[in-house]
Chains A and B, each alone.
Chain A
């Protein structure tokens, strides 16, 4: 799996989000996108997973030497963003069962309960999401994201609303997945930048695409 971002520009009508961004996220490292609010961190993640199209530039995604199509990218990508929501009238287990069937991952109920246990929700498997706290919803979103064992893991502000135990779950997921997948994390929290950042892209309206 390889990603190469070449001279990427994104505009909404005439409003430029960022321009001429080039970067190469690497496997085995925690790749981190940072920058102030509105610098385009979330937009970059949406562009990488094919939810949006760039105004200019390209994102080359290759797996086993063959280039991936937009559908192929979605199939192997786990995307966690603050915009993501799951079904509030279904239970935690029903939500995972639904997305497992939809994605064609034939997981048993026991395996799905294991996923819930991984994020510390084993005792809330049969509770509807409507009764979940914001932090519990964030944990379930993490379970949803790792459901497909993604080869590309995109985490946008993953620690939002999580307690210390929840943050440990995020740490565990990042360290487990960066060994076998490409992990890209977007955050503007300087503590997280210091904690996770191994290959950093700094997005700024004044100084776009600065990499360190």
Chain B
């Protein structure tokens, strides 16, 4: 039992480390994500930066930027394996569940890096009202990015088998991710206005429950998705 768990963790960690090494050497996903977020931020900042925006508008803008930047990178997690033909070696060496969990952790790390880039840049360029609860904001971002990655990883695997590949992911993902985005926008608004964690405890419970549901459903479905 201990050996099985150890092998499982070793295998998942191997996928994460492999994807990180590959990403570090090619920088495909990171470059796409950061450039997309930077372009959007600069455009938004030049267009509406001079106006004083409502807190909820700031919150919505942050998550719109994160959502579309993330979609440009997260879809690559499986499409690059399909396109390069490495998915076969992966499927012959690990179970579909291990592949999913490895990709999920890698996608979560990518999202956390994205948020670490977008949030400070947003503060610098858009100048939201001071007095926000930064600790709470970071906690919300991590929880929401876990939920986003959980749902997007399975969809990325489905999209990788389709012909239209990357362009299909935002369309497929939007209805699935809408509950997460709405909750993240609302709780980010609270955090930006300096609210405490108690006020948004239900949002946290919702995000974690949603994560549990999407990961469970994904683990049940992923063998059928990766199967020919």
Contact = CB atoms under 8 A, between A and B. Distances in A.
B228 A89 contact: no
A104 interface: yes
Nearest to B84: A85
**Interface residues of B, dominant DSSP:** helix
Interface string B71-101: 0000000000000111011111111001000
B92 A77 contact: yes
Interface stretch (B14-22, B137-145, B157-165, B185-193): B14-22
B86 A85 contact: yes
Contact of A74 (B7, B18, B26, B91): B91
A94 interface: yes
Contacts of A81: 88
Contacts of A90: 18, 21-22
A51 interface: yes
B39 interface: no
Contacts of A46: 228
Interface of A: 46, 49, 51-53, 71, 74, 77, 79, 81, 83-90, 94, 98-99, 101-104, 144, 148
6 contacts: A51-B88, A81-B88, A83-B88, A88-B84, A98-B17, A102-B90
Interface of B: 7, 10-11, 13-15, 17-18, 21-22, 25-26, 84-86, 88-95, 98, 227-228
